[in-house]
Chains A and B, each alone.
Chain A
Amino acid sequence: MTTDRLSLGAREFEILVTLVAGPRHGYGIMQELRESDSGGRVLGPGTLYRVLRDLAGRGLITSVDVREDDPGGPPRRYYRLTALGQRAVAAEARRLSGLLERARPLLQ
């Protein structure tokens, strides 16, 4: 159960990484993904939403609705990493950097 919940796909990992620096709203995540230029396909709003819901369901992120300066506007939903999410990102990053070390001879 836990291994299933914590194993991350490349796309999920990328999304979680955008939240390392701090909470963001959905549009912010999308922008970050586009600008990070990791070569992946750009996600549509609906798809991103679904992945975020899924990550939240697995306890890796949590969301909070924040009412901003504009009092009439709808609240914005911010996502942030949970403690579990932070551990999962760190573990995946460690795993990847281990892989990177082994591939490094090819990069010379």
Chain B
Amino acid sequence: MQLPAWYRRVFGWYPSRFRRDAEPELIEMAEAEWLAASRRGRWARVRVATRLAADHGVTLVRAWLAELAGPRVARAGWADRYREDFRYAWRGLSRTPGFLAVAVAIIGLGVGATTTIISVGNGLFLRVPAGIARADELVTVHEQSRDGSSFHSFSYLDYRDLAREAGDGIQLAAYNMFAASVVYGAEPEATLGLGVTGNYFSVLGAVPHLGRLLAPADDQGAGSARVAVLSYGTWQRRFAADSSLVGRRLTVNGEPYTIVGIAEPGFGGHVAAFDSEVWVPVALSLGPSRRAVLDQRRSSWLEIIGRATGAGLPAVTTRLSAISTETGRAAGLDWDRTVDVRRYSPVPAQIFLPILGFLGLLLLLGSLILLISSTNIAGVMVARAVARGRETAVRLAIGANRWVVIRHLLAENLLLFLFGGVAGTAFAWVATRLISRIELPFPVPLRFEFPVDGRVLAVAFGVSLLTGIGFGLMPALQATRASLAGSLRDHGSDPGAGRFRLRAVLVTAQVAASALLIVVASLFVRALDRAQRLDLGFEPANVRVVGIEFSVLDYQAAEVRAFAAAFEERARTLPGVRQVGATDVPPLTLANQTSVVSVEGRPRTEGVGYFGVDFARVTPGYFGALSIPIVRGRGFSEEDRSGAPAVMVINEALAGRLWPGEDPVGRVIHWGQIEGGPPVTIVGVVPTGKYRSLGEDPRDAVFLPAAQDQPRRLSFVLKTDRLVPGFSRTVAEAVRALDPNLAIATNDAYPDLIGLSLLPSRIAAWLAGGFALVGLVLSTMGLYGVLSYLVVRRRRELGIRLALGAEAGLVRRLVLREGVRLTVVGLGLGVGGAMLLARALRSFLFGLDSVDPLVVMGASGLLLAAAALACDLPARRAAAMDPVEVLRDD
């Protein structure tokens, strides 16, 4: 197979001396490599191609460095020479401290923006959480469902089978995140704990700071030892690092545990940003009454993480899938159950892509501002080089090597970008600290750490260096290419045409990037605005959400119902409260649960005979408290209790799919299973709302009376007619009066909870908006610079025109036209780019997926106005020239 054409083509970029000497030899070697690889198959080819490309890159840089260093010199001379270059560059820059400061700030902003985002990505995706050994051996295992969709959890029995049969070199541990109510001091506090199998810590390679961690002996199913491990942070914060804590008691979810150890500092589990406070044996993470699921193969609630030593992913997948298929068959499944094994990532597989996508978007915005700032500086550097044209020309004329002059210019630029890199790193350092302070209105122990570590520093440095060289080389090449005589005479046949073109290109790039940012920012603003006015299907204003997790105290169904009734009654008497209801899954709070409904006598096909639905268990007051109108039939009443006929309310979307055009009220469907679920009568229909996210397409949803089912958590929704000061405390007291041991998981205004799902878009809008503003200022400055240069450059021509009787207005228009041309081209590119981007951003834009004319017109108007401002002064200056003086100067 032929060596890929690019390998030869890259030689075109090498210094010619290097090419003459080395090209045939290198090609011969590469060809032989390629031939050998081709025989070994596709992957070998990919590997060799990657290696050849990397080799090319390194060799190219070295070849140029050697070339720029001039003819062979002793090694000692090199360093001296470069030091001299930088000293010279520093002298040049420090002569204009104002320019230096502004340029460093501009570059710092670009480098800082990208570095910040890369730090966040690094902190989430690449940094292995503390206390985990040899993370490259770790894998996560998920069950694949019948339709091939992934990321399902396992039952305890399935986990036990897999762990036992996995064989040599594969150790599997399981864990279950659970809502915990821990009594550290006087009152119970809501948090999330981790129930883990006895080998969890040893699989991760974690070690204790004090005492011991959980061991396999602790993990005995329902008869597990009541032992708990605390995190180092919890020990420090809650127990003032009391070294006698090990052996003492701790109440978790109403049950007494013995603290057996403290995990090592920094260890908070294996999930990025999640910082578990307490670990208990996995079976105990279920309330006592739920421990029956330990023996049920159908209850999937465990996640598996494992360590594979010596076996590759495919081998592990094959082995575990075989076990899964076998145990599935034995349990009566009629299909081959398989598992999905992935390399461990600190970000869970389920949310890996969405988070990566969001960071990708932010990185794109950051890169745009970097592009704008780099091109802006490059434009200024061209101007500086031109201003020093005489000096350069003299140096070239007295025989200085062109490369030597380029080196000096490049050194200046590199110095500038390195300072900018330092400023950018400082920017990133501050920004990441601000970001890690974000607090969520949920009792989830999160710890964001985005350290500016070696990797991030390397990126910041690399970005500065590359942009410094890239954007420095252009002006340097351009400045030294000019005709010697032309520069020396300071006029003549337009020596600056190339420079003007280069600066024009740079300015167009800035305008394009700014236009893109402006359009994207306006898209986000419009989307957010739309989201505010979006019909949610319910009214969150003046509603407080009070979430309580009953499973933590192992409440039985009857107790939950009793508590709910008592609390609702008490809440109705609180000041300002108009209506009260409850649900186990409040809409738009990042939680959801799904099930199926089926219609008898129809084929077993999704969308025909059965339908996947979101569902919630609600109390009778729920619809009223959230101002959800009942469009047909009725809502729930106190009569819909346990023992009464089973009823449900469905939304219009589902009604339309079940019986298009017909009234569903009074009809019977089957609940919970594709076939043979219990029959339930539909008693009412509510409008379709937004359930999971604001941008979602209409979803099918079902509501069940909480009294006919067994909710394990409830969120009470309290509709008030006004803002009541201290309301959250009043509510908390009402809960405590009924049961002082219940921990409140949520106690927030509903709009704040919804705001959380707007957060990514808000962040993007703020960033895009801020960057767009900076981009606008910079590109206006750039435009002004390039037009001023144009006027200087064409001084003679314009002077002659004026002398020959051209009107001042004509000359002004001439300059303006040039400015408008650059702006319009940039605008077109930017808006085009934004249109392409808009589709990819759909999920952040709440359904808005195209750039509407209003946004384009607004952005264009803004940019054109800025451009007019930038053009005005140079144009006036051109028109006000005194032709006599211009021609006399000649």
Chain A residues proximal to chain B, CB less than 8 Å = 25-27, 30-31, 34, 42, 44-50, 74, 76-77
Judge whether B295 is part of the interface by a CB distance below 8 angstroms: no
- Give the number of A-B contacts (CB < 8 Å): 54
Q: If A42-B51, A74-B24 touch, does A48 touch B29 (CB 8 Å cutoff)?
A: yes
Q: Which residues of B contact A25 (CB under 8 A)?
A: 25, 28
Q: Return the CB mask of B35-73 against A: 1 if under 8 Å, else 0.
A: 010000000000000011011101110100000000000
Question: In the complex, what residues of A have CB within 8 A of residue B27's CB?
Answer: 45
- What's the minimum C-beta distance from A73 to chain B, rounded to whole angstroms? 9
Residue B668 interfacial (CB < 8 Å): no
The number of chain B residues with a CB under 8 A from chain A is 20
Find out whether the CB atom of A46 lies under 8 angstroms from the CB atom of B59: yes
Q: Is B26 an interface residue (CB 8 A)?
A: yes
Nearest chain B residue, comparing its CB with the CB of A34: B36
- Min CB distance B832 to A, Å, is 38
User: In whole angstroms, what is the CA distance A49 to B60 when docked?
Assistant: 12
CA A50 to CA B66, docked complex, whole Å: 11
Q: Is the CB of B32 within 8 A of A27?
A: yes
Assuming A42-B51, A74-B24, is B29 touching A47 (CB within 8 A)? no
Question: In the complex where A26-B29, A30-B33 touch, is A45 in contact with B55 (Cβ < 8 A)?
Answer: yes
Contact status B29-A45, CB under 8 Å: yes
Is A49 touching B25 in the complex (CB atoms < 8 A)? yes
The answer to whether A50 and B32 have CB atoms under 8 Å apart is no
Closest to B52 in A: A44
Chain B nearest CB, measured from A48 CB (Å):
7
The docked-state distance in angstroms from the alpha carbon of A74 to that of B28 is 11
A49 / chain B contacts, CB cutoff of 8 Å: 22, 25-26, 29, 59
Q: What distance in Å separates the Cβ of A31 from its nearest Cβ neighbour in chain B?
A: 7
Given contacts A46-B26, A49-B25, whether A30 and B59 have CB atoms under 8 Å apart is: no
Which residues of A are found within 8 Å of B51, using beta-carbon distances? 42, 44
Contact A46 B56 (CB under 8 A): yes
**Assembly CA distance A72 to B27 (angstroms):** 17
Give the distance in Å from the alpha carbon of A49 to the alpha carbon of B22 in the complex: 8
Partner of A26, one of B28, B54, B59, B62: B28
- State A102–B2 Cα separation when bound (angstroms): 49
Instruction: List the 9 closest pairs (A to B, CB-CB), nearest first.
Output: A44-B55, A46-B59, A45-B29, A45-B26, A74-B24, A46-B55, A27-B29, A27-B32, A26-B25
Secondary structure class of chain B's binding surface, majority of residues: helix
- Contacts A45-B26, A74-B24, A77-B25 known; A31 to B58 CB distance under 8 Å? no
Contact B62 A45 (CB under 8 A): no
Q: Choose among A27, A47, A77 the residue that contacts B55 (Cβ–Cβ < 8 A).
A: A47
Known A-B contacts A42-B51, A46-B58; the reply to A30 vs B29 at CB < 8 A is: yes
A-B contact pairs, 6 of them (CB 8 A): A25-B25, A26-B25, A27-B29, A44-B59, A49-B29, A50-B62
Does B132 count as interface, using CB distance less than 8 angstroms?
A: no
CB distance from B67 to the nearest CB of A (A): 14
With a 10 A CB-CB cut-off, give which of A30, A34, A45 has the most chain B CB atoms.
A45
Residue B565 is within 8 A (CB to CB) of chain A in the complex: no
Instruction: List B contacts of A76 (CB < 8 A).
Output: 28
15 extra A-B contacts, CB within 8 A, seeds A44-B52, A46-B62: A26-B29, A27-B29, A30-B33, A31-B32, A44-B54, A44-B55, A44-B58, A45-B27, A45-B52, A46-B22, A46-B56, A46-B59, A47-B59, A49-B25, A49-B26
Among residues of A, the one whose C-beta sits closest to the C-beta of B32 is A27
Query: Nearest chain B CB to A25's CB is how many angstroms away?
Result: 8
Q: Are A45 and B58 in touch, CB under 8 angstroms?
A: no
B881 within 8 A of A: no
Chain B residues whose CB sits within 8 angstroms of the CB of A50 once the complex forms? 59, 62
Query: Which of chain A's residues has its CB closest to B60's CB?
Result: A46
Closest A residue to B59 using CB positions: A46
Shortest CB–CB separation between residue B13 and chain A, in angstroms?
A: 13
Among A25, A27, A74, A77, residue most surrounded by chain B Cβ atoms (within 10 Å): A27
B177 within 8 Å of A (CB atoms): no
Measured between beta carbons, the chain A residues less than 8 angstroms from B29 are 26-27, 30, 45, 48-49
Complex CA gap A46/B63 in Å reads 10
Distance in angstroms between the alpha carbons of A50 and B22 in the assembled complex: 10
- Shortest distance from the beta carbon of B72 to any chain A beta carbon, whole Å: 8
Max chain B Cβ within 10 angstroms of own Cβ: one of A30, A42, A49, A74: A49
Complex: A76 Cα to B32 Cα, angstroms: 14
- B30 contacts chain A at the CB level, 8 A cutoff: yes
For B54, the chain A residues whose CB sits under 8 A away are: 44
The reply to whether A47 and B58 form a contact with Cβ atoms under 8 Å apart is yes
Within 8 A of A (CB), among B417-434: none
Output the nearest chain B residue to A75 by Cβ-Cβ distance: B24
A48 to B26, CA, bound (A): 9
- CA separation between A14 and B437, bound complex, in Å? 54
Most chain B CB within 10 A, of A46, A50, A77, is at: A46
User: Quick one: which of B386-432 are within 8 Å of A by CB?
Assistant: none
Most buried by A among B26, B28, B52, B54: B28
- Rounded to whole angstroms, the CA-CA distance of A88 and B177 in the bound complex is 64
Chain B residues near A77: list those with CB within 8 A: 25
Cα–Cα, bound, A44→B809 (Å): 63
Closest to A57 in B: B72
Least CB distance from A28 to B in Å reads 9
The chain A residue sitting closest to B56, CB to CB, is: A46
A42's nearest neighbour on chain B, judged by CB, is B51
Nearest residue, chain A, Cβ from B25: A26
A30-B32 contact in complex given A49-B26, A77-B25, C-beta closer than 8 Å: yes
B57 to A, closest residue via Cβ: A46
Please report the C-alpha to C-alpha distance between residue A27 and residue B36 in the assembled complex, in whole angstroms.
Answer: 12
A25 to B26, CA, bound (A): 11
By a CB distance below 8 angstroms, the chain A residues around B55 are: 44-47
By beta carbon, the residue of chain A nearest B7 is A45
Per-position contact with A for B55-93: 1 when CB-CB < 8 Å, else 0?
110111010000000000000000000000000000000
- Bound CA span A42–B54, Å: 12
The answer to whether A27 and B52 touch across the interface, beta carbons within 8 angstroms, is no
**Cα-based distance from A34 to B60 in the complex (angstroms):** 24
Instruction: Tell me the minimal C-beta distance from A1 to chain B in angstroms.
Output: 11
Q: What is the chain B residue whose CB lies nearest that of A52? A: B25
Nearest CB in chain A: distance from B46 CB, A: 15
Give, as a whole number of angstroms, the nearest-CB distance from A75 to chain B: 8
**Shortest beta-carbon distance, B60 to chain A, in Å?**
8
Residues of B within 8 A of A30 (CB): 29, 32-33
Cα of A76 to Cα of B29 in the assembled complex, Å: 11
In the bound complex, residues from chain B placing their C-beta under 8 Å from that of A31 are: 32
Q: How far is the CB of A35 from chain B (nearest CB, A)?
A: 10
Q: How far is the CB of A5 from chain B (nearest CB, A)?
A: 12
Residues of B within 8 A of A27 (CB): 25, 28-29, 32
B32 neighbours in A (Cβ, 8 Å): 27, 30-31
Contact A45 B24 (CB under 8 A): no
Complex Cα gap A30–B34 (Å): 12
Alpha-carbon gap, A83 to B211, bound state (A): 67
Cα distance A42–B30 when bound, in Å? Answer: 12
Contact bitstring B543-566, A, C-beta under 8 A = 1, else 0: 000000000000000000000000
Q: What is the chain A residue whose CB lies nearest that of B51?
A: A44
Considering the chains assembled together, what is the distance between the CA atoms of A46 and B22 in angstroms? 9
CB distance from B191 to the nearest CB of A (A): 48
Chain A contacts for B62, CB-based, 8 A? 46, 50
Enumerate chain A residues within 8 angstroms of B22, measured Cβ to Cβ. Answer: 46, 49
Provide the bound-state CA to CA distance between A49 and B54, in Å.
Answer: 14
CA gap between A94 and B59 in the complex, in Å: 33
Taken together as a complex, chains A and B put the C-alpha atoms of A45 and B51 apart, in Å, by 10
Interchain nearest-CB distance for B64 vs A (Å): 12
Collect the chain A residues with CB atoms within 8 Å of residue B58's CB: 44, 46-47
A42 to B32, CA, bound (A): 13
**Separation of A34 and B35 alpha carbons in the complex (Å):** 14
> A43 → chain B, closest Cβ, in Å?
8
Q: Which residues of B contact A46 (CB under 8 A)?
A: 22, 26, 55-56, 58-60, 62
Q: Bound complex: CA of A48 vs CA of B29, how far in Å?
A: 10
Measured between beta carbons, the chain A residues less than 8 angstroms from B28 are 25-27, 76
Chain B residues near A42 (CB-CB < 8 A): 51
